[in-house]
Structure 1
């Protein structure tokens, strides 16, 4: 197993950490971070060596994302969305499904894949869409709608997205496809400069308007019925997304814990109250990396968790976010009043960690999945 320090050495992490505060303050995209990460093959971590990548496992990449998030959570979250697509492509490839081979080849060549799934008011997320997907005679699809939280907006070259085809002879179908950046030049993709948020500012997850944006036939990768179903592409998106999101927030928890340790050492590391607080944070944090690692390995080995998969995946994401929020809160107390200043790294972590609740699965969805797994589906009134 590749050690995270060999790919993300301390000097690189420190450069990324030094830039993070400026990107947060100025609300700018971390272009230099992306350049350095691209230079070490980070965009192709999950791409098999035979296709020009690093050939790492999802478990190894989850560890790297935790490490990157200790330096710059927003950079880690931005890169996450590209890694989700390469992770899905790798998962399908490992199962003999080559539908997303172009993603693996593109990532090795330097392409940046963005995630265009979120829509305002669409609580179904993957299982429904308010974006219209209009079929064309040549097999292409034209998408019209609005996507929110489109991370990597300034730099993506391919936008992976979904929309609803209501004209299909076999009933409504959710269409998954990739729209190239040149659709922006054609005026069919318009990216609003509207990202001015509480935290995770460097992700530049801007709103994307689609006005008949065309995905060519060879980039239309799936047509599935709306609603929950076991298609490997849909499951791949959900599983990789949840695990890599959990990794970023676990990295935030680790950095907050490290900063609390430094603060306690400066004050009085023998103080019983401080020792209890740091221990409490450490106990909470220590539970998360093994859980993420275990689920990554279960995915790789195709362990059959049956209907529990969705509760396990949404649960680990939910726990990572709530754990990170609790650890950051406690770290603020340990560090004292200096952490309340906006220039404080803990202050930035406090704002960044707040974004966790907005990523699918939200707390309601996670609890619904767990209740269904343990109690059975909710009965429909007769």
Structure 2
């Protein structure tokens, strides 16, 4: 376990301001620009960038703890920032393995630039291994991208968008192309983010209309399908660990609010607080037992990524598994916290009510329940027999 202190980068007074603003952004369906400005000023966008490049030089395990803490104040802010940290985390994974393909991401993040994640597509359950977006070579090593990306967090503020697309013109067969785009007139962001929860992420639909990435921003050309390439591993590892961190942070905040409610609410029947009610005590104990399992798992897996531990083929079930468990745990904990909080938690002004909506988003992030179970089954049982 790391001795890193998250309060150094996310002090209590900053979190208090972020938590206060979260209510407004949820109600008004707006992006938390003030949160991003304050986080940028503290160097948060560069926490995973090496110190020699102007960042904080933190580990993925450190970032996991920070994201847990940030999610406890504002889940939507944490989830939005997550998508930037995914790319800086991938850059770190590559650099740790002697590959500096994403040095421009690290330099940009250290300077306060925002990188967004433009991979998700409607109906594309291949995710990283396939794409409905056309990647067309420009003849000079660059590509233009035409297609539609969904759930593009940070839509109002990103400077650079990491995307993938399929090049079907290559003489050596179709290639998955990963590249980074700058904002341009060929990228149209729909103002269509009106959702049940995680409203502040403003994860709008993004239309790529021949958006161009020059050769120096094309980072991979890979065969479609599962690949052992470090870029693919980095995206999957950092994405799953940091997602799990956000939902684990939500669970911790829900648990704290449940404890606060139990110790402050009094029963007319017994004259004492609900903290002495055996049913409430059992419920909070159940929440705590579920929550306590996740932080050590996240710390261990993130540390394994940091230290280049080789789990071989087990990596994908370990990573999809921790994300699945974190989301399932967080949803169950928030459900119980609502019950402990009583009828007041049903009002939209109550923080638990917002968390109840926010936590539902976890079910839609890769890896979903079906994918995680399929991955685990394949790891333990092998492929389905013909």
Aligned partner (choices 346, 354, 359) of residue 353 of structure 1: 359
Q: Secondary structure at the match of 1:17?
A: helix
Q: Secondary structure at the match of 2:286?
A: helix
Rounded Cα–Cα distance in structure 1 between residues aligned with 2:329 and 2:22: 23
Aligned partner (choices 11, 36, 48) of residue 13 of structure 2: 11
1:200 shift after superposition:
0.2
Q: Secondary structure at the match of 1:19?
A: helix
> Match for residue 235 of structure 1?
233
1:195 shift after superposition:
0.2
Q: Are positions 1:274 and 2:280 aligned together?
A: yes
> Match for residue 321 of structure 2?
315
For residues 347-368 of structure 1, the C-alpha deviation after alignment (integer angstroms, 9 at most, x for no partner) is: 0000000000100001110000
> Match for residue 330 of structure 1?
336
> Match for residue 211 of structure 1?
209
Q: Secondary structure at the match of 1:97?
A: coil
Rounded Cα–Cα distance in structure 1 between residues aligned with 2:70 and 2:39: 10
Of 153-162 and 268-277, deviating more is 268-277
Q: Secondary structure at the match of 1:207?
A: strand
For residues 97-125 of structure 1, the C-alpha deviation after alignment (integer angstroms, 9 at most, x for no partner) is: 01001000110111100000000010000
Give the number of aligned pairs: 376
> Match for residue 250 of structure 1?
248
Of 303-312 and 55-64, deviating more is 303-312
Rounded Cα–Cα distance in structure 2 between residues aligned with 1:149 and 1:266: 39
> Match for residue 269 of structure 2?
none
Q: Are positions 1:264 and 2:262 aligned together?
A: yes
Rounded Cα–Cα distance in structure 2 between residues aligned with 1:98 and 1:69: 30
For residues 125-170 of structure 1, the C-alpha deviation after alignment (integer angstroms, 9 at most, x for no partner) is: 0000000000011111000000000000000000000000000111
Q: Are positions 1:56 and 2:54 aligned together?
A: no
Aligned partner (choices 364, 377, 385) of residue 371 of structure 1: 377
Q: Secondary structure at the match of 2:176?
A: strand
Rounded Cα–Cα distance in structure 2 between residues aligned with 1:142 and 1:226: 18
Q: Are positions 1:299 and 2:305 aligned together?
A: yes
Rounded Cα–Cα distance in structure 2 between residues aligned with 1:116 and 1:250: 24
> Match for residue 176 of structure 2?
174
Runs (4+) off by over 6 Å: none
Rounded Cα–Cα distance in structure 2 between residues aligned with 1:165 and 1:258: 49
Q: What are the within-5 Å matches in structure 2 for residues 104-253 of structure 1?
A: 104-181=106-183, 183=184, 187-253=185-251
Structure 1 spans left out of the alignment, 5+ residues: none
1:305 shift after superposition:
1.1
Structure 2 spans left out of the alignment, 5+ residues: 266-272
1:9 shift after superposition:
0.9
Rounded Cα–Cα distance in structure 2 between residues aligned with 1:341 and 1:191: 33
Q: What are the within-5 Å matches in structure 2 for residues 27-106 of structure 1?
A: 27-106=29-108
Rounded Cα–Cα distance in structure 1 between residues aligned with 2:248 and 2:348: 22
Q: Secondary structure at the match of 1:156?
A: coil
1:2 shift after superposition:
3.2
For residues 326-347 of structure 1, the C-alpha deviation after alignment (integer angstroms, 9 at most, x for no partner) is: 0000000000000000111000
For residues 7-57 of structure 1, the C-alpha deviation after alignment (integer angstroms, 9 at most, x for no partner) is: 111111000000001000000000000000000000000000000000000
Rounded Cα–Cα distance in structure 2 between residues aligned with 1:263 and 1:304: 44
Rounded Cα–Cα distance in structure 1 between residues aligned with 2:300 and 2:242: 13
> Match for residue 362 of structure 1?
368
Q: Secondary structure at the match of 2:254?
A: helix
Q: Secondary structure at the match of 2:225?
A: coil
Rounded Cα–Cα distance in structure 2 between residues aligned with 1:254 and 1:378: 38
1:172 shift after superposition:
0.4
**TM-score, normalised by the number of residues in structure 2:** 0.97
Rounded Cα–Cα distance in structure 1 between residues aligned with 2:175 and 2:80: 29
